[in-house]
Structure 1
């Protein structure tokens, strides 16, 4: 009887450890959150962005690509967010290596937000981004407050409320 009880206890402890390791994992906490956002400056034929010039504004920094269906899925809500909340600067950094594909996409989709192409993925590397879309929220003081992995509905009440309280 006691042997059976010990075996059952070991099973429960093993299950608890397994749940602690994977069951409650919601992803790695980005190391940059609550720290100063990496600054960058980029200029190319599609536009230019100097992140330091956005100090005093909330910035939604989105990394995307034209070949990424989830990225394309969320772009309309990023544009709507920019329209609804002009106090928020939405910056979309394309990681497309193919400049022509990027230019065609811009011509076909008429994006009404600030976008630049970083074909060498220099900026996304600074942020540790490798899955697209990934988006960072930077507060008025240049502090990275939040990271979103995957497509979001940027006009959802939760996100709009969060941004309005920064």
Structure 2
């Protein structure tokens, strides 16, 4: 009887995401059905990307923050649909603990990026560039858009291929859970 009670208790706590840790991944996947938790949380790429002024950056620049990295392009229709949601997420939750980082990968002229942002109403996202797709390739991006969630230590913890509703209540709950200290 004691054995059964211990087994039942272990199953209850193991299956209940509220006791499993700070992130309810089951609820996150219900809100963002294409979200896939990354096994073993590998470190993200150290490949450099640039800004329009020629400055170089790496994802390590964001260490200490939870980061949502979105790979996109000006010609990508799903990106056009998703970008306002990413902008709203950054506007509401971005700051000291969280940052949305949008990286235009491939051939994306800076004037076209500004035009894209103006047409879609984006005002809170950075203009960052991966013109030779080196970062995208190193991170296994095979289509667009792709969004990668990175923890404070610079490890990939989840990935979503395709567009989604990053301004939804479920997505915001996920980000709030990830940024709790």
Q: State the TM bucket, normalised to the shorter chain.
A: 0.7 to 0.9
- The alignment's C-alpha RMSD in Å is 2.5
Answer yes or no: is the 8 Å Cα contact 1:64–1:71 preserved in 2: yes
Answer yes or no: is the 8 Å Cα contact 2:106–2:130 preserved in 1: yes
**Match in the other structure for 1:144:** 156
Give the drift of 1:117: 1.8
Runs (5+) with no aligned partner, structure 2: 1-32
Cα distance, 1:116–1:141 mapped onto 2, change above 3 Å:
same
Where relative contact order (Cα < 8 A, 6+ residues apart) is larger, the structure is 2
Indicate the structure (1 or 2) with the bigger Cα radius of gyration.
Answer: 1
Answer yes or no: is the 8 Å Cα contact 1:135–1:147 preserved in 2: yes
**Match in the other structure for 1:18:** none
Aligned residues: 140
Deviates more, 1:104-113 or 1:65-74: 104-113
User: Could you tell me the TM-score, scaled by structure 2's length?
Assistant: 0.67
Matched ranges for 1:6-155 at <5 A: 34-45=41-52, 48=55, 49-86=57-94, 87-99=97-109, 100-106=111-117, 108=119, 109-155=121-167
Give the drift of 1:98: 4.1
User: Could you tell me the TM-score, scaled by structure 1's length?
Assistant: 0.73
List structure 1 runs of 4+ shifted beyond 4 angstroms: 29-33, 106-110
CA–CA distance in structure 1, aligned partners of residues 105 and 70 of structure 2: 10
Runs (5+) with no aligned partner, structure 1: 1-25
Give the drift of 1:31: 6.9
